[in-house]
Structure 1
């Protein structure tokens, strides 16, 4: 592995981590729930399917809107890096479905367990994060060095 030291930006990474942690802490204090993206999106979608619309779901939709708006706001400060697809659209769709299955099986997504769960010293989140990371390491090792 090589590191592109010209693109390495520890201060931007630190600022992003602080913002994510701060937003998660504020969400937890305001709502009494962790800010896992899968849970927030899942509950908002469930309310829509039950015909409740936006009633009682305001903070969830603001959260989702903030996630969608953030890249456009960032472009005001600095251009986004160029995206490069190295997989077919079908492979991306399959990967997305597998991630969704994993989120359901793991009772939450990587952001919920990694940011919020670990900060609360949750053993379940620690096991999940180790599983996510381990599966990722093994997948990359097999795809790059075995296949």
Structure 2
């Protein structure tokens, strides 16, 4: 269990909101990571490549900035085997493709725009996640 830190949670949420609104206002694009990354690799000569690369670079640089501000890296603990982590990532990628977007695109951007499709998608992946955790922890015993 991690300790809740309201200031960092508020600051992180505000930064995500500002980045989401800025991307929509400046480029007219949704801040869905799945779409940003797939567009980055699908069209390296596109005029969209620069903002996509900058967005991903900012995501990579964020923990480094956190370390610079706080003096320590964010604690990340992944209590599963690397093979299971890879399989889970693969399944999430398939789900993001089938669902026409990822959690950030639907959950952050779509719900804030009151998109019915995004609300249904978010409810679906949240329910699926809850069922998966329940089955893995209480039925299978992992």
Question: TM-score, with normalisation over the residues of structure 1?
Answer: 0.88
Shift of 1:12: 1.3
Q: Distance in 1 between matches of 2:73 and 2:125?
A: 27
Q: Distance in 2 between matches of 1:42 and 1:63?
A: 13
- 1:69 is matched with which residue? 61
Which 4+ stretches in 1 moved above 4 angstroms?
none
Distance 1:62 1:111, change over 3 A: same
Unaligned runs of 5+ in 1: none
Q: Distance in 2 between matches of 1:119 and 1:24?
A: 10
Question: TM-score, with normalisation over the residues of structure 2?
Answer: 0.91
Q: Work out which structure has the larger RCO, using CA pairs closer than 8 Å and 6 or more positions apart in sequence.
A: 1
Kept in 1, the 8 Å contact 2:107–2:118? The answer is: yes
For the aligned residue pairs, the C-alpha RMSD in angstroms reads 1.5
Aligned residue pair count: 139
Q: Distance in 1 between matches of 2:19 and 2:80?
A: 32
CA deviations over 1:67-88 (Å, ceiling 9, x no partner): 1111111101122243333211
- 1:41 is matched with which residue? 37
